[in-house]
């Protein structure tokens, strides 16, 4: 799990700026302590049947007439509707994630990719993840830009569009759209599997890295990750 610096009991600078912790002030937290999953986190490429659209199960709210009359349903009355609303969104999120994996992972495998190494950081109610590098089956390690170039040549965007994962954006080049998918979407999905969908929420700063192994179908955190960040400052 991540390296974490707790901000809840520190003295903040008088100028209102964010404090910049040193790398040696971070503490590495095992998975259960941070709220994530037990490792290794396993994933598959199986896509479940598409569930009903989440919008078909609206969040239960009192009607305008009830609000005007000051009437509110009790927690017991609202509970089944709230549970159905959460279940619908959970099922849809699982479908979207699996559809994404089923489209992207085989394309990476065809290029000989065995592992992805992703980094993450965040805190103060934000979490970020991005691709660092990839390892091929022959042991060669390539950087993210080299991988993106290969994925563009391999027509990954066309595959994603055909599987309903995304669409083509005229304002973005194909290279930029594939890079955004790899950095901001695919790695973020794997980070959420490992850390929980709300990683970065709370009065803390975090950083870390993890390895996605396509042969084993696992996501494993790196307990020796270097203090590399893109969205939070760490003092050297």
Cβ–Cβ < 8 Å for 43, 101: yes
pLDDT: which is higher, 82 or 163:
163
175/148 Cα distance (integer angstroms):
7
The residue whose two tokens read 């479908």 is: 95
Instruction: Please report whether residue 97 resides in a domain.
Output: no
Domain count, the chain: 1
Read off the pLDDT of residues 56-93 as tens digits, 9 standing for 90 and up: 766 666 666 666 676 666 666 667 777 777 788 888 88
Question: Residue 131: which domain range?
Answer: 3-43+114-221
- Pick the range with the lowest mean pLDDT from 26-30, 77-81, 121-125, 131-135: 77-81
5 SS3 class: strand
Q: Identify whether 55 is part of a domain.
A: no
pTM of the entire structure? 0.84
pLDDT in tens, 179-231: 999 988 999 999 999 998 889 888 899 999 999 999 999 999 999 999 999 99
163 lies in some domain: yes
Answer yes or no: is 154 within a domain.
Answer: yes
Has residue 193 been placed in a domain?
yes
Residue 94 forms part of a structural domain = no
Within-domain flag for 144: yes
Nearest of 17, 33, 55 to residue 202 by alpha carbon: 33
Residue 34 lies in a domain: yes
């Amino acid at each position: 799990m991540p390296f974490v610096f707790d901000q809840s009991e520190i003295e903040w600078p008088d100028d209102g700026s964010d404090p910049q912790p040193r790398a040696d002030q971070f503490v590495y937290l095992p998975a259960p302590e941070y709220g994530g999953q037990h490792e290794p986190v396993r994933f598959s490429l199986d896509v479940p049947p598409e569930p009903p659209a989440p919008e078909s199960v609206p969040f239960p709210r009192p009607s305008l007439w009830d609000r005007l009359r000051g009437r509110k349903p009790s927690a017991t009355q609202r509970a089944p509707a709230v549970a159905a609303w959460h279940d619908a969104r959970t099922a849809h999120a699982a479908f979207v994630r699996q559809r994404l994996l089923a489209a992207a992972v085989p394309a990476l495998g065809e290029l000989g990719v065995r592992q992805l190494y992703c980094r993450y950081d965040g805190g103060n109610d934000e979490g970020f993840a991005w691709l660092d590098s990839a390892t091929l089956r022959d042991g060669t390690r390539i950087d993210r830009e080299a991988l993106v170039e290969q994925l563009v040549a391999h027509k990954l965007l066309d595959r994603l569009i055909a599987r309903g994962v995304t669409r083509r954006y005229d304002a973005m080049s194909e290279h930029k759209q594939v890079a955004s998918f790899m950095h901001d979407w695919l790695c973020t999905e794997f980070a959420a599997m490992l850390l929980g969908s709300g990683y970065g929420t709370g009065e803390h700063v975090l950083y870390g890295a993890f390895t996605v192994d396509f042969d084993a179908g696992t996501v494993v955190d790196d307990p020796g990750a270097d203090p590399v960040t893109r969205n939070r400052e760490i003092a050297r």
